[in-house]
Chains A and B, each alone.
Chain A
Amino acid sequence: MKKHLTILMLILISLLSLTGCWNSRELSDMAIVIGIGVDKVPDSDQYRVSLQIVNPNMAAGTKTGGSGQNMLPNIVYSSVDHTLFSAFRKTSQKVSRRTFFAHSQLLVIGESLAKEGIDGVFDIFERSHELRLTSAVVIARGVEAKNLLNVLTPLQTMTATSISDKLKLASEVWAQSVDGELTDVIKSLSGSGEPVISGVRLVGDSSKGKQKANLDQSPPHANIETKGIAIFSNGKLALWLDGNSARDAVWALNKMKSTIISLDCEGKTKALSIEIIRSSTKTRVIMRGGKPVLTLHVKEEGSLSETNCPINPNNRELIVKLQKQVAEETKKEIEAAVKATQSKKSDIFGFSTEMERTHPKEWKKMKKNWPLLYSESAVEVRVEAYIRRTGLRVKSYMKPKNE
């Protein structure tokens, strides 16, 4: 027993000196990667990978740091190589600490790379244990991913967090972008559908955006905003949907959480806004005469949130009329969005999966030329709209003119 105890004590004491243990990493030896940017190097088949690394002294904003107050919150390092992983490793030539990918929150893909095809980008994200599949994916519109990550942002000190938060918020309350994770993109790339990825763009002067002076002014010299949804065809960027048509794609994808619809009232254009608070979309494919017909059934609920014309919502008939208007508006918009994707033969709404599930026999025949069939199929949209509430006020304070 005594012998055992001695051995145990020896082992325990030796622990003190043997701190370089299996897989053990001290926080101060790690470079935490918060965002990853991938660009295509022009006229070659190499990738330029940009890693956005957090400067912990600055990012947490602690008072005790003292020395770190005038440093940048994040630094971007880029390296060029044929595969993403070797480029990741190549970055060690430039960074003094070991890169740590598990907290990466954003993957930015350059627009030029997206146009050439994004098929090759995602394998490493699934294969490597270091990377996470939950980070958001965006496409840098009209700008290189590297330059986008370089911009310093107010409010959120880290650019990558700022972008992913903007994406989340905008997709929740404005619904003109989708908050897509890496898993979603990979899923749709591996199936027979196409991925949808939101766009982000740089507004302002990108060279000034890199400097700390960017934050000395309101509004900043350069800012990042979410803009539009990218539609892919064969894994290549085919079309940008912007504004309302982006919203309709979100609607058809059943990812609508909340948005605002503007309606005309009493001759004024867009003078009345309805906030959609709940919406669900069912996509079905029915066979009619041997041809697939794509049907979308939308059920939405909203409330009257603002009106610039003197209406009286006490009137049941008026509400019914407004409901009809909302349904009509939604229907028009969704049809336009589906038509737009049909023109690029890009089935982003998962009709192919629906087809495979409900009509397996026909699907086997159609599988090969589904993109073509998709673009030629008829579309039927049915919308049920309900207006549930009129806000805190019933009748508007404005007086009708002809009274």
Chain B
Amino acid sequence: MNFQSVEDYYQRPEAAAAIRFLRYAALFISLFGPSIYIAAITFHQEMIPTPLLLSLASQRESVPFPAFIEALLMEFTFEILREAGIRMPRAIGQAVSIVGALVLGQAAVEAGIISSAMVIVVAITGISSFATPTYNMAISIRLIRFSLMAAAALLGFYGIAIFSIILLGHMCGLTSLGIPYMTMMSTFVPEDRRTTLFGIPLMTNAAKPQLSDQPSSKEASGDEAPSSASSPANPLNESGCP
């Protein structure tokens, strides 16, 4: 859905599938990146490998803020830069991004306000957030990220887990034009989901999704998969969650 892109169907399916997995990874990073970093260095130092911990500790020696404030500062600045970059004329836009990169990446670290590890985390998070093809999805992830960071600063990985569960619950409660948002997962029809998750050749995907209201050519011929038997005639009344 949100991770399909038109150009996927112009590539060989293997390549498209691989790229799509890359997008899933980018989603994960842009959603959880800063919060995992915050949780690990303020709560779970014992799970960072010792050499890495020492390196992080030496970077954080001179940083005056707690990790959460530091991350918030950087993420906020990044969001400003991003928004400003969109509004600005194209000719100046590049200059701004150079200034932004220099100010954020170099000067802030040298001034001892931000640790260089945080710059890396924010940078990879920011870049990952551009990898989601759908803008609607990308923008909600941008916002949810901040709440996740707060949860991580409050309770560590425990907080991240709690927030993720709340988020999942919220997703199950959503409806779009009367159809539950999670219909894709709850009434799971493997044949329909092949292209959603992996990306397969279009030719093998000729059949209509079985959840749509008209019977597909497959169903009409009586060649039904066991799961399609349970798929409701009217999915609108079906609960969105398993």
Contact = CB atoms under 8 A, between A and B. Distances in A.
Contacts of B130: none
Interface in B155-176: 155-156
B50 A27 contact: no
A23 B157 CA distance: 12
Interface stretch (B63-71, B81-89, B121-129, B203-211): B63-71
B56 A27 contact: yes
Interface stretch (B11-19, B24-32, B40-48, B229-237): B40-48
A22 interface: yes
A68 B61 CA distance: 10
B57 A102 contact: no
Given A19-B153, A22-B155, A24-B153, A64 B54 contact: no
Contacts of B61: 28, 56-57, 65, 68
Contact of B69 (A16, A25, A58): A16
B63 A24 contact: no
A47 B68 CA distance: 40
Contacts of B147: 12
11 contacts: A15-B68, A16-B72, A21-B155, A25-B45, A27-B42, A27-B53, A27-B56, A32-B54, A60-B58, A62-B55, A64-B109
Nearest to B39: A24
Contacts, number: 87
B63 A25 contact: no
Q: Is the interface of B mostly helix, strand, loop or mixed?
A: helix
B67 A26 contact: yes
For chain B, the bracket of interface size reads: 20 to 34
Given A60-B58, A68-B61, 11 more contacts: A19-B69, A23-B43, A28-B60, A56-B57, A56-B61, A59-B54, A60-B51, A62-B55, A62-B59, A65-B62, A68-B58
Contacts of A24: 42-43, 153, 156
Interface string B143-161: 0000100100111100000
A26 B60 contact: yes
A57 B154 CA distance: 28
A32 B43 contact: no
4 closest residue pairs by CB, A with B: A102-B46, A56-B57, A60-B58, A56-B58
Contacts of B45: 25, 27, 30, 100, 102-103
B228 interface: no
Interface of B: 41-43, 45-46, 50-51, 53-63, 66-69, 72, 109-110, 116, 147, 150, 153-156
A26 B66 contact: yes
Contacts of A57: 58, 61
Contacts of B109: 64
Contacts of B150: 12, 15
A105 interface: yes
Contact of A32 (B53, B59, B68, B69): B53
Interface in A290-339: none
A54 interface: yes
Contacts of A34: 50
Contacts of B43: 23-25
Contact of B153 (A15, A64, A102): A15
Interface string A1-36: 000000000001001100101111111101010100
Contact of A23 (B55, B60, B156): B156
A56 B41 CA distance: 14
Contacts of B72: 16
A164 to B, nearest CB: 10
Contacts of B155: 21-22
Contacts of B67: 26-27
Contacts of A68: 58, 61
A58 B62 CA distance: 13
Nearest to B56: A27
Contacts of A58: 58
A34 B53 CA distance: 12
Contact of B57 (A16, A30, A105): A30
Contact of B154 (A15, A62, A65): A15
Contacts of B69: 16, 19
A54 B54 contact: yes
Nearest to A160: B50
Contacts of A54: 54, 57
A100 B47 CA distance: 13
Contacts of B154: 15, 21-22
A56 B54 contact: yes
Contacts of B66: 19, 26
A30 B53 CA distance: 11
Contacts of B110: 64
Contacts of A100: 45
Nearest to A28: B60
A58 B58 CA distance: 8
Interface centre among A27, A54, A105 (most CB of B within 10 A): A27
A19 B55 contact: no
Contact of A103 (B41, B46, B156): B46
B57 A27 contact: yes
Contact of B50 (A12, A16, A30, A103): A103
